[in-house]
Structure 1
Amino acid sequence: MIYPPTQRPPPMSLTTRFSFSKRPYDSPRWVPFPTNVMFRHFEIVNVFDSVAGNITGVSDLYRMKMSAHYSDLVVVRGCPEFGQEWIQLLGDLYGKPIFPVGQLPTSEYEIGDENPAWRTTKEWLDKQPKDSVVYVAFGSEAKPSQNELTEIALGLEKSELPFFGVFRTRRGPSDPDPIELPEGFEERTKGRGVVWTTWAPRLKILGHESVGGFLTHCGCSSLVEAIQNEKALVLLTFLSDQGINARVLEEKKMGYSIRRNELDGSFRRDAVAESLKLVVVGEEGKIVGSVYRETIREIKDKNKNAF
């Protein structure tokens, strides 16, 4: 179904330099429904990187703006059941029809069951109790800082939960700033946790019954695969649109964000451990985790073709 715009031209608040919000964390007045979906201070600072020009002299934001301006319709990765009000608003802002094509879920596993890497991973997961393991992965683009990686690792250690952690210490051979896990971390968590530093079969891991929670950066593909497998989500954003993804999940009670400093985004190992235990273990954790999983299951069931 194509969603035509209900108003033209776009609201004046999009074309002026003035803010129509009374407080920093209010949503703009041109959002015609109540919502908490908005960037936090430390997230919007990261977005400025896409506003600045690059070596070509043209910013990513300008490219996106002009592409939308000269298009006849806008195709989005999304589905009405997950955010019809936002799809309609996007059409109003662009003044163009919006065509949601679903969440584009992964339809096949990346590797077969006989792949050596998966066989080793599966053997370890098979030994863990159901819904007990924390899966940690931050995608191919997001790389924590050295301090962030240290706090994540020590938070995992402090949680005392079994975990499978995919820690990419560099984004490729040309990455000039590799990061390292805390000294002694692997030895102290040996047996309870698995440290993986190369590519891992995310969809297969998320599909295993021992995985009870997913510590994620809120990348779109990661979230879609987690929803496919009905996993409770612990949220830790790093790049541009990930903050908005996290707010949507929070608002729909599908995920829980790690507590952070609002200005610089810093977080402590205690907050990591507390968040993981809240969602995955303990009496309260069973309630919270089950609420998230049930909400995810309901949204998934409402639109089976989208996920």
Structure 2
Amino acid sequence: MAEPRKQLHIAIFPWLAFGHIIPFLELGKLIARRKGHRISFVSTARNIERLPNIPPNVAPLITLVKLPLPHVHNLPENAEATMDVPNNVIPYLKIAYDGLQEPLSMFLESSSPDWIIHDFAPYWLPPIAARLGISRAFFSVFNASFMCFFGPPKLLLSASLQTTDEPDSSTRTELEHFLVPPRWIPFPSKIVYRPYEAKKLFENTEVNASGVSDLFRFMTVCLGTEVFAIKTCIEVEAEWLNLFGELLHIPVVPVGLLPPSPQEGNDNKDSTWDAIAEWLDKQEKGSVVYVALGSEIRPSQEDFHELALGLEQSRLPFFWALRKSAGGESIELPEGLEERTKGRGIVWTGWAPQFKILGHESVGGFVTHCGWSSVTEAFQFGRVLIMLPFIGDQGLVARFLEERQAGVEIPRKEEDGSFTRDSVTQTLRLAMKDEEGQIYRDKAKEMTTIFGNKELQHRYVDKFVELLENHRQIITKG
């Protein structure tokens, strides 16, 4: 007779960015809902207060654990997530995050979870968890092709600690090295950085005000974890997943694309949705361009103007979700834009329910920064992507999707990343209207068979949890 399955206690500890917090929470909800394991979701008080409502059917299994974020010089009061601060202040948020080491250790010691699912930032966590007998799983909200581009962690860690004048021939020390596929990718690929993106990337390899580089954090955590979970699936990037497993030498487990459930939005904001839906209902099916560049992207005033004027020139109906940037920097719309586009376009400055908007039948395309979670949401509904990446993984995600002809990137100058209103207009019309853009619209619709297949995606979570269960059984019996 089979032994009864032990209920696991799993702690979940994301980095302080909502682009990480929400997928980590989604994973926790699915583990609780499908397998009945107990979840402790750990973050700071203000971030936990801003989470969407936990569905009643899983709420008894999920404990929200609020840790006090230490006060740090240069970090504004109540700033507890990247969306609360401008980019130049994020290193101070990392200092505060590192200050969670003691309260997190105390929580782990008193609650004794079986596993902790963690992010890239807490480079100090693996030895603490190992000492307490807690198994570690790194969860990457980035896709496998992005992870492969950076290569084997041991190689990268040695590069980030390099002190000699003669670096290992396999390391990448020059900007030009990031403009071509790395030598460890054995198949043809066009997934590379542009020069203007590589310049920004180099900032992440340098030690910042927190005392260590992001690269060092990531590689140290990689080398201290036991399982690498990743927000993707075999149907989307099998060859990259296989390659990443070979590079890492520990189990690499896709957890699926974690599509959010539409009924789990912020219920108290339904009146907002009603007002948006009323406008969308009046538009033709598939005609509207939805524009949203995420809560952390802050284009220059010039880029912002060119995007706005390109939208106006396109003559397409648009809904622009334009959140005020953190730190209060003001970016002005071109004079008279809202009057000239009245009725055809809406610039919405409050909270907007992205998932519901993308799901509305009048929306046909999505101007996006190519954050992997935004891409995931759009493809559930087969929306064609008009891609405008800015930071981090976004450029590589855009190239990955271009290879698959599932989106069109707005052309930019290689050196500085600038673009014109005309290039915005032409790309919008290609993606939304022109005959030669039909291939992109068709491919985006094809994506719904994978991204929109909830049962397929949920099976990945089930397999991941089975691995967690089996691993703990081996340890317990051992």
User: 1:40 touches 1:262 (CA, 8 Å); kept in 2?
Assistant: yes
Q: Does 1:62 align with 2:186?
A: no
AA aligned to 1:61 is: L
Aligned partner of 2:312 in structure 1 is: 157
TM, length-normalised to structure 2: 0.58
Instruction: Count residues in correspondence.
Output: 295
Q: Which of 1 and 2 has greater Rg?
A: 2
Gap change, CA 1:301 and 1:224, over 3 Å in 2? closer
Aligned match of 1:225: 377
Q: CA deviation at 1:77?
A: 1.0
Shift in CA distance, 13/115, structure 1 to aligned 2, threshold 3 Å: closer
* Residue 336 of structure 2, aligned match among 174, 184, 192: 184
String of CA shifts for 1:132-172, please: whole Å, max 9, x gaps. 0000001111121111110000000000000000122422x
2:227 aligned partner, one-letter code: L
| Corresponding residue for residue 5 of structure 1 | none
Higher relative contact order (CA 8 A, sep 6+): 1
C-alpha displacement at 1:294, in angstroms?
3.4
Q: 1:258 to 1:59 in 2, by over 3 A?
A: same
Alignment deviations for residues 211-238 of structure 1 (CA, whole Å, 9 cap, x no partner): 0100000012111110111111110001
> For residues 141 and 114 of structure 1, do their structure 2 counterparts lie closer, same or farther at Cα, with a shift above 3 Å needed?
closer
From 123, 128, 133, the counterpart of 2:288: 133
Q: Answer yes or no: is the 8 Å Cα contact 2:196–2:417 preserved in 1.
A: yes
1:296 aligns with 2:447: yes
Q: Deviations over 1:263-293 (max 9, x none)?
A: 11110000000000001114334x2443232
Matched, 1:193 2:345: yes
Q: Secondary structure at the match of 2:291?
A: strand
1:301 is displaced (CA, Å) by 6.5
Task: Write out per-residue CA displacement over residues 230-269 of structure 1, whole angstroms, 9 at most, x where no aligned residue.
Answer: 1111100011111111111111111110011111111000
2: distance between equivalents of 1:298 and 1:52? Answer: 41
Q: CA 1:135–1:212 in 2, change beyond 3 Å: closer, same or farther?
A: same
C-alpha change, 1:240 and 1:263, in structure 2 (3 Å) is same
What is the 5 A alignment of 1:66-105? 66-105=220-259
Query: 1:253/1:304 Cα in 2 relative to 1: closer, same or farther (>3 Å)?
Result: farther
Distance 2:247 2:320 in 1: 40
Structure-2 residue corresponding to 1:257: 409
1:47 is aligned to 201
The correspondence for 1:273, drawn from 425, 428, 436, is 425
**How do residues 166-177 of structure 1 correspond to structure 2 at under 5 angstroms?**
166-171=321-326, 174-175=327-328, 177=329
1:3 is matched with: none
> SS of the counterpart of 1:53?
coil
- Which blocks of at least 5 consecutive residues in structure 2 are unaligned? 1-150, 160-167, 459-478
Partner of 2:272: 117
Distance in 2, Cα, partners of 1:47 & 1:199: 30
Q: Deviations over 1:97-152 (max 9, x none)?
A: 20111111112341459822111110110000011000000111112111111000
Contact 1:131–1:213 (8 Å) recurs in 2: yes
SS, match of residue 446 in structure 2: helix
RMSD of aligned Cα (Å): 2.6
TM score, norm. by length of structure 1: 0.88
Rounded to whole Å, the distance in 1 between the matches of 2:267 and 2:316 is 28
Q: Residue 99 of structure 2 aligns with which residue?
A: none
Mean alpha-carbon deviation: is it higher for 77-86 or for 11-20?
Answer: 11-20
Q: Distance in 1 between matches of 2:208 and 2:246?
A: 30
Change (3 A) 1:218 1:114: closer
Show the counterpart of 2:10.
none
Instruction: Tell me: CA distance 1:192–1:28, structure 2 relative to 1, closer, same or farther (3 Å).
Output: same
C-alpha distance in structure 1 between counterparts of 2:404 and 2:439, whole Å:
13
Q: Deviations over 1:168-221 (max 9, x none)?
A: 2422xx33x321111111111111100011210000000000001000000121
Higher helix share: 2
Contact 2:432–2:441 (CA<8 Å) still a contact in 1?
Answer: no
Shift of 1:299: 3.8
Selected match of 2:390 from 238, 241, 246: 238
Identity of aligned residues (%): 45
Q: 1:49 Cα shift? A: 2.5
Match of 1:306 in 2: 457
Q: Deviations over 1:77-107 (max 9, x none)?
A: 1111111111121122222220111111112
Give the secondary structure class of the aligned counterpart of 2:456: coil
SS at match of 1:43: helix
**SS of alignment partner, residue 305 of structure 1:** helix
